[in-house]
Amino acid sequence: MVGFILTGHGQFSNGLASAIDMVAGDQPAFQIVPFEGSQAASYGEDLRAAITAMREECEGVLVFVDLLGGTPFNQAMMIAADVDNVEVVTGTNLPMLIELLLTRGSGSGLSELAEQAVSVGQMGVTHQSVAAMAAVENDLGDEDGI
C-alpha cells in the first residue's frame, strides 16, 4: 500500500483530515503533519520522521501539500530527494484526497497515484452558477447530496 501524508500551512491538514474522517471514515496509512508557526523550527524534522516511518511500513509515500513553493512543499521536496519512493503533490483539495484514499489499493503505483491526484484535483475545481444549479436540480429531482 502507498502511504499518504498530508501537510500544509496552519490548520490546512487538520481541516482536511476532519472532513475526510466525516466523509470516508478512518483511513490506514494516512497521517497529517501540520506546519504551525509555533513549531516552525522542528517542522522539517517532524515531516522527515513521519515520511521515514511511513516509508518503512509502505511501498511508497505520497505527500500532499497545500501550496507550490511554500515551506511544506520545499521541505517535502528536500526529503523526497533523500528518501526513495516518495512523491509530492501540490494544490491538494478534498475531492483529490477522498478519491485517492478510496482507490489507492487498486494496484496503482506511486507515480500513477500522483498523476491521478492531479487529474482528480483539477476535476474538483469548477465554477457553478445559481441558474445552472437550478437546471441540474430540476433534472435530478429531490436526490440527497453526499
Question: Cα 101 from chain centroid?
Answer: 9
Neighbour-count burial of 146, counting CB atoms closer than 10 A to its CB (0-12 exposed, 13-18 middle, 19+ buried) = exposed
Cell numbers found for residue 38: 509555533
Please identify which of the residues 9, 15, 44, 52 carries the catalytic annotation: 9
Contacts of 2 (CB under 8 A, 6+ apart): 29, 58, 59, 60, 61, 62, 104, 108, 109, 110, 113
To the query of whether residue 9 is one of the catalytic residues in this protein, the response is: yes
- DSSP secondary structure code for residue 6 in this structure: E
Instruction: Give me the helices (H) in 1-146, please.
Output: 12-24, 40-57, 71-82, 94-103, 110-123, 130-140
Cell numbers found for residue 43: 517542522
- Which residues form the catalytic set? 9
